[in-house]
Amino acid sequence: MNISDFSAEQIAGQRLMVGFEGTGLTRELMFLIDTLKVGGIILFTRNIKNPGQIKNLCKSAQDYARSCGQPPLIISIDQEGGQVARLKEPFTQFPGNPAMKSEEDAAGYAETTASELLEVGINMNMAPVMDVAQEGAGSVMSGRIFGSDPYWVSKMGVMVIERFQSRKLMAVAKHFPGIGRTVLDSHLELPAFDAELTEMESFDLIPFEAAIRHNVSGVMLSHILYVKIDSEWPASLSKRIAKELLRDCMGYDGIVMTDDLDMGAIKNHYEIETSIRQILSAGIDMALICHAGSDIEFSFEEILKSIHDSKEIKMDAEKSVSRIMRHKEKYLL
């Protein structure tokens, strides 16, 4: 599909990745696809019963999108292993990143996980975690990271990215520019981190630089306030971090997405209108809204309104959708 043929509604909808209720092609999911024209959906345990049901759900959603003249959907999930694994048995259960002791461990996890996800119709995994934490620092991410050495994290993460993507499963490096050295949980509150950018460049950013060099499909922004980089906005809403640092300085041209806007770090501090306007001004490609509710439709309407009202926002939106479509054409068509 050519971006020049997209309606304003399609351009707006492609910039949303959303959660939903139910385990099949419900009226709610149909509305998200045919009316809001969302670019992607994300699955949680509430959407999962067994492999056959997941496969039917994914196929039904893709078939419905096709019947509506929509591009194929990104269908994503968090399947890191260990603490964060939405798919339980009979899917293979891995102990998680801290338990991986070799590149062979990472390759085994990635190959098996890619095969199992693709078999049921999931085409994006919100992994690998590329955060780094200093030993004994009490990191909120201690149970989900590869380790405390940024070069080891880079090596392991790159192995996962390459094995996923060589099999046509999109990988997402998270949580940019790094939350390994924070102790508060952004699911609940808005953490602040006061390291200088130069300090982060020699530690936190190293794995993300490696992920970018190896063409990772997506980068997820964190809900952390990096006060020495942008004292006003958390990374997921920050032009300085998403555009100036990630895009302009580090040269990333894949899909940039927020973490879930329903998390406390954002929900407790910003109205959804404010969040969407910041996302648009920062040139972030996809807003992730993981829970069903009015925020999804409101976000669509706000993006659509901004496209109509601002030539600059419209041009940025077309660039974002071009990036999204480039990955859909590479991995889904």
Clarify whether 316 is annotated catalytic.
no
> Are β-strands 218-221 and 74-77 bridged in parallel, bridged antiparallel, or unpaired?
unpaired
Q: What is the DSSP code (8-state) at residue 256?
A: E
Cis peptide before 191 (omega within 30 of 0): no
What's the half-sphere exposure (Cβ side, CA atoms, 13 Å) at 143?
A: 9
Q: In sequence order, what DSSP letters do the residues of 91-131 get, joined into one string?
A: SPP---GGG--SHHHHHHHHHHHHHHHHHTT--EE---B--
Catalytic residue among 259, 260, 285, 316: 259
Q: Is 70 helix (H, G, I), strand (E, B) or coil?
A: coil
Q: Is 50 helix (H, G, I), strand (E, B) or coil?
A: coil
For residue 192, the surrounding DSSP H or E stretch is strand 192-193
> Are β-strands 286-289 and 225-226 bridged in parallel, bridged antiparallel, or unpaired?
unpaired
CB atoms within 10 A of CB 194: 11
Clarify whether 187 is annotated catalytic.
yes
Catalytic residue among 187, 214, 269, 291: 187
The beta-carbon contacts of 98-104 under 8 Å, at least 24 apart in sequence, are: 98/142, 98/143, 98/144, 98/145, 98/146, 98/147, 100/146, 100/156, 103/155, 103/156, 103/159
The rounded distance, in Å, linking the Cα atoms of 98 and 144 is 6
Active site residues: 187, 259
